[in-house]
Amino acid sequence: MFITFEGIDGSGKSTQARLLAAHLEKLGHEVILTREPGGSVGAEEIRALVLEGDPARWSSHTELLLFTAARRDHLERVIEPGLARGAIVVCDRYVDSTRVYQGASREDLRRDVDALHALMIKREADLTVLIDMDPQIGLGRALGRGGTEDRFEEFGSAMQVTMRSAFLSLAEDFANRFITVDGNRSIEQVADDVAKRVLERLPT
Ligand code: ADP
Ligand code: TYD
């Protein structure tokens, strides 16, 4: 089973992906915890290219190609081999982030995102956990972390608001694979909710 976590910056995806992976391991499953952009050696190199430096460093189209190239490497080297041997793959962000960030932000590239996905990636998650979150709180948490991976966070709070509604509308479009959880609660409350709802969907 391929499980992805999605949501705006600072919504708690990395925290919750880690807790879910630990929970599933305790239940005896083999779990691969990974993330995008990145997750394989080559894709982590591309991660630095897309997340660091001047926000205007890449055109929207070039950026879409870089995210897709990173995903293809990650898919070939980590996700598909893991799924093939029966592991549960838990991934912090995947193509829904591209649909939202590249598809709905600076230019409307959604059709190009879907076309490139159909050509180069093809695989969708089996289950996607959307952590829904107040955009202002999310931005505060993300900026509070500091660091140099801030090309997107520099786009600011208006973008967080747009991204949040784009995620919610994706969750409606793909209602059969999305679980939306309220991220405005304690880490433990969110984790309990995520574990319960994922276990309901896990094939036995
Ligand atoms: P994301 O991966 O979505 O950007 P993180 O999991 O990295 O989010 O969380 C961002 C920051 O917020 C971290 O410092 C984390 O410890 C904190 N955090 C995560 N979830 C919660 C929560 N439910 N309540 C308060 N703080 C949280
Ligand atoms: P991430 O490290 O998950 O950031 P955060 O922990 O703040 O949520 O992702 C970094 C940024 O990359 C984030 O702002 C969203 C962006 N991104 C895209 O624009 N397109 C993509 O396809 C992916 C996977 C991420």
Of all protein residues, whose CA lies closest to atom 17 belonging to ligand 2? 97
Question: If you measure from the C-alpha of residue 79 to the centroid of ligand 1, how many angstroms do you get, rounded to a whole number?
Answer: 24
| b (16+ CB within 10 A) / e for 134-155 | bbeebbebbbeeeeebbbbbeb
Ligand nearest to the CA of 150: 2
Are β-strands 31-35 and 178-182 bridged in parallel, bridged antiparallel, or unpaired?
unpaired
Are β-strands 127-132 and 2-6 bridged in parallel, bridged antiparallel, or unpaired?
parallel
Average pLDDT for 18-34: 98
Residue 92, helix vs strand vs coil: strand
Average pLDDT for 97-116: 89
Q: In sequence order, what are the residues at sequence separation of 6 or more whose Cβ sits closer than 8 angstroms to the Cβ of residue 87?
A: 29, 30, 31, 32
pLDDT tens digit sequence for 44-83:
999 999 999 888 899 999 999 999 999 999 999 999 999 9
Domains (range + CATH), the chain: 2-201 (3.40.50.300)
pTM of the model: 0.95
Ligand nearest to the CA of 14: 1
Is residue 154 over pLDDT 60?
A: no
Across 89-98, 100-109, 188-197, least confident range: 100-109
3-state helix, strand, coil in the chain (%, to 5): 55, 15, 30
